[in-house]
Each structure stands twice: as C-alpha cells, then as structure tokens.
Amino acid sequence: MGLLSLITGRPGASGFGSASTAEQVTDGVDASNLTVVITGGPSGIGLETSRVFALRGAHVIIAARNTEAALEAKKSIMEANPTARVDVLKLDLSSLQSVRAFADQFNSMNLPLNILINNAGVMFCPFQLSEDGVEMQFATNHLGHFLLTNLLLDNMKATAESTGIEGRIVNLSSIAHEHTYPKGIQFDKLNDKKTFDRRSAYGQSKLANILHAKELSRRLKEEGANITVNSLHPGVIMTNLMRHSYAVMKAIQVATCLIWKNVPQGAATTCYVGLSHQLKGVTGRLF
C-alpha cells in the first residue's frame, strides 16, 4: 500500500483500505461455529477485535493479565450485544508459568479452538527482566505467544480435522520489525542491559513474531494441517501500548496525523485476516 492509499483510504485488491473498519471487513461473515482466543482483549484493538468477533457470533475467549479490566470489557460487549458469547481467562504472557496454566485451563474446558489471535504486547518499556529472566518485550511479545501457540496447537489441529474448518493463527507484529538492532535479533544479548535500546528491542520482538508465523506456517503446510498462520502490521494507532512513550508518540501523531488510524480501523486487518473467506488457504504472509 502506497502513502497516497494510506492517506486517502483508497481500497486495495481486497476491496478494503486503511479507512475500512473491523465491522466493514467482516460484514456478512457468520462466525457462530467458531471459537477464538484473543490475547490482550480488554483494551485497544484487542477489545475491538473481541467485540467484532463476538458480533459475528464467535465464542470469544479474552485472555488477559488484568482480569478485572477483561471482565469490564466483557460487560461492555454484552451490554451492546446481549447474545454475545464471551469468557475471560487469566493470562500473563511475560510468565511462562502463567502461559502453561492458561493452556491447561483452556484445554480442560473441552472447547474447540478455531482461531488464535496473538494480539497482546508491550512497547518501548524500560529495561526489565521477566520472572523467567528474559528481557520483558521479548518475553511478552514473542516468547509468551510462542509457547501459548505450541500448547494450543494440538487442540487447533484436532478442531480443524474434526470440523473440516480451516484454523487460523494470527500474530500481531509491527512495521517496527524493520527497525531493530543492526544484525537483527540479538539472541546472545537478549538480556544485556549495556546494549539495550528499548525501540530496537521492541523491533526485534516484532521481527520474531513474523519469523515465528512464517516458520510455523511452513511446518504446518508440510504436514498437511488445515491451519494457516499469518502476521500483520495493524497500522499506527494511539492506544495504551504507547504508554511508555506517550509524549513522543503524541508529537509524532500531530506531525503525521494523516496516516494514523482510529481503533476500529486498527482492528480491521486482524479481523480480516482472522475471518475473511478471501484468505482461505493463504498462509505465511505479512499483511
């Protein structure tokens, strides 16, 4: 998509453009036979994604660190849509123990799993190690989602096989994947405070999201599993994700106001990749 299309919202080959909303890109979609797990669903584009999936009939599992906020999100969704099916489960992606506990709890519910939206994340936060001793952005944005995906994958494979419905895994990445450390992911210096740069560290975690999607896509395709895996950049949106650099990002927003999206527009790419019939069989792509 060129800069002109981004500014004007002119539709691309899909029929949608940067001005399209999550509701618009899912208009006419019946998701009543689908179960979806959405990480980071209590706010921002995660909340809008949860709302629109529920609006289209899907059974939505909001996986969130702050369950109080997630329950408020569920309440707001159901006030507007009383027939919505929404559940809340505890998940702290920065803790591998919490990820395992979530997967155990979800799998014990004997629910199918058609779609996994790896949406949650942290951005530009100061240097900090997770409880597992890993730099916080890499731990939360990549490692937590990597483990979560692996722990839910057997359920997704079984669901796709028993129902004949294509499963979909969607990793939310960022254009920031192009702005990481000069040599890419610093596997040997992930936790090195001396070389840490919070923007480059964010970029490497987002690069990892894309590489994860591409490699998992290749492996699933090779084994013949009926599951697609894609990643995406949702656009530039002012959400709580910006809280560690709000003043800087607000100044940038003023200077580049024409390319910023609102939250319904920001959630559109996630909902499109997760639900659009146009993308049946499309895998390993960055949207």
SS3 (DSSP) at 78: helix
Distance between CA atoms of residues 194 and 20, nearest Å: 43
- Token pair, residue 214, equals 């591409």
Question: Which has the closest alpha carbon to 49: 228, 276, 259, 266?
Answer: 266
Cα 211 to Cα 13, 118, 173, 223, distances in angstroms: 25, 14, 10, 19
- Token pair, residue 55, equals 């609006």
- At which residue do the structure tokens 């028993």 appear? 162
Catalytic residue among 181, 202, 246, 272: 202
Residue type present at position 5? S
C-alpha angle with apex 229: 81 to 284, nearest 5 degrees? 135
Cα 18 to Cα 1, 11, 226, 244, 268, distances in angstroms: 9, 8, 29, 26, 9
- Residue 202 known to be catalytic: yes
**Residues labelled catalytic:** 202
